[in-house]
Amino acid sequence: MNKQKLILPISILLGCVILGGFYYASEANKKVSIDKPQVVKSEVVKPEENIKNDDFTKKIECEKYRDSIAKTINQYNNSQVPEIRNSNNTGTGDEAINHLYVENKELKEIFYSPKVNSCLYLEISRTLMKSNPNAKANEGNWGTSFEYYNLIDALTDNQIDSIFTINRSERMDEYNGDGTISVNVYNRVDEMVNNYKSN
């Protein structure tokens, strides 16, 4: 009977020792993992992705100049006053033909150029004309007498490149002997822009 009375307390004591051992082992394991230096697995960024991310960031930076450039161009356009100029063409007899002219600019696009490592914008610079010197500036339509597509550095305001697209109201396309267009002048503008958009 004495042995039976001892079995229950011994079993409880043995169970407590085993549970205590498991608890001690788990706590010791936690301490070892805290003391070990943590190795952080960092994401490896490929060089091409780095370049793409950098270009994307620079494109966003270039967009910040858009409002300022557009404001400057609008101020320029608003400051222009139509004026009568000699067209340097002679009409009947020896008299020069006078026309009403005004200068005008338009912001076409802005982009980051890895070629020059800067923000460039494409500006269309036009000389608009009305053939009647007595025409009113705010009545009727203006025709384009001269037109240039200029690439300008947004940071320095220096002109980087330019294509003359209209001369005396005539497009500056290149023609074949049979009169068909061999080089469209506006395709040349696209080529110029794409050249500066690539490396």
pLDDT tens sequence across 147-191 = 999 999 999 999 999 999 999 889 988 888 888 888 899 999 999
Does residue 94 sit within a domain?
Answer: yes
Does residue 32 sit within a domain?
Answer: no
Does residue 66 sit within a domain?
Answer: yes
Sites in the chain below the pLDDT cut of 70: 1-3, 31-56, 87-96, 133
Does residue 81 sit within a domain?
Answer: yes
Question: What integer pLDDT is reported at residue 41 of this predicted model?
Answer: 47
Question: What integer pLDDT is reported at residue 91 of this predicted model?
Answer: 47
Question: What integer pLDDT is reported at residue 50 of this predicted model?
Answer: 56
Does residue 150 sit within a domain?
Answer: yes
Q: Please report, for residues 1, 3, 9, 10, 12, the alpha-carbon distance to residue 6 in angstroms, rounded to integers and kept in the order given.
A: 9, 5, 6, 6, 10
Question: What integer pLDDT is reported at residue 78 of this predicted model?
Answer: 95
Does residue 56 sit within a domain?
Answer: yes
Structural domain that includes position 78: 47-197
Does residue 92 sit within a domain?
Answer: yes
Q: Is 150 exposed, middle or buried (0-12, 13-18, 19+ CB in 10 A)?
A: middle
- Domain count across the chain: 1
Residue type, 2: N
Does residue 2 sit within a domain?
Answer: no
- Global pTM reads 0.65
Question: What integer pLDDT is reported at residue 90 of this predicted model?
Answer: 45
